[in-house]
Amino acid sequence: MNTVTRRRIAASAAAVALLAGGGVLAGCSSGYDAASGGGTTAEPNGIEKLPAKEIVTTSVAAMATASSVTVSGVFKGDDGPDMSLDLVLGTGVGEGTTSLNGTPIMEFREVDGKIYWKITREGVEAILGPGDASKVIGGRWVVAPVGADESAFAGPGELGDKDALLASLVQEGATATVAGTGEVKGTPVVFVKMNGSDGITTLAVQTVGEPYVVQAKGDQAGNIAFSDWNGPVSVTAPSGAVSPEELIPQDSASG
């Protein structure tokens, strides 16, 4: 997973500082399963016999057609805290939580064309320290239409976008090398090493059923697991959500 994506995801938590700063607001376990095409008895797909570049392009194409995926694991911070993720992402629906060094930071839900997110009081205080900001912002659900400029009000952004998150597995311009075969928690895989400007990330692509990535492990990105491909995703909108402008009125933000 590339550096730009990791920074954007980390920023989705750290952006709580912008909410209180005045003006900005106003402006994983992995493994093959039945959901991915037939259970542990699924037939081999032969992808390990392809050249490295073809393994990657074939896997990317397969993942692009998947209806959902569960993502979990830890991003290593760029000279900052580690960020853990627990996400279930579908097409136009999803939910997830993030933590920084074990402290819960953000929860989000996407359903019915709207994105909801809540930054915890502990998250606000972890970033800004104790103060009034945690009382105003912390623990309150915020809602906006999907596609709105979330960067202006600290929304989850790329964190909740299944297609963007999966596309970020492949660095543009990186070279791919097959690094052997093996297993990831009982799932037979082929390992492909992606070497690019953001460092080396090793993708584990399953060699049975659909050739989905089940793990991304890097010298910088940490260890991220992808599981429950094409599983059901059921999300309920939270009650009591407010718009960004209601959370911090424009005159309060500018003052």
- 245 assigned to some structural domain: no
Per DSSP, the residues of 91-156 read SS-EEEEEEETTEEEEEEEEETTEEEEEE-HHHHHHHH-SSHHHHHTTT-EEEEETTS-GGGTT--
Mean pLDDT confidence for 150-158:
56
Whole-number average pLDDT of the chain: 76
- 249 assigned to some structural domain: no
Per DSSP, the residues of 160-224 read G-HHHHHHTTS-TT-EEEEEEEEEETTEEEEEEEEEETTEEEEEEEESBSS--EEEEEETTTEEE
- 25 assigned to some structural domain: yes
Task: State both tokens at 179.
Answer: 């690094």
Torsion 213-217-221-222 (CA) sign:
positive
Residue labelled with tokens 């064309």: 113
- 255 assigned to some structural domain: no
Q: What is the pLDDT of residue 118?
A: 87
- 82 assigned to some structural domain: yes
What domain range is 33 assigned to?
3-233
- 149 assigned to some structural domain: yes
Residues 44-62: pLDDT tens digits?
Answer: 999 999 999 999 999 999 9
Q: Between 208 and 102, whose confidence is greater?
A: 208
CATH number at residue 175: 2.50.20.20
Contacts of 26 (CB under 8 A, 6+ apart): 245, 248, 250, 253, 254
Residues 73-107: pLDDT tens digits?
Answer: 887 655 666 778 899 999 999 999 988 877 788 89
- 160 assigned to some structural domain: yes
Domain count of the chain? Answer: 1
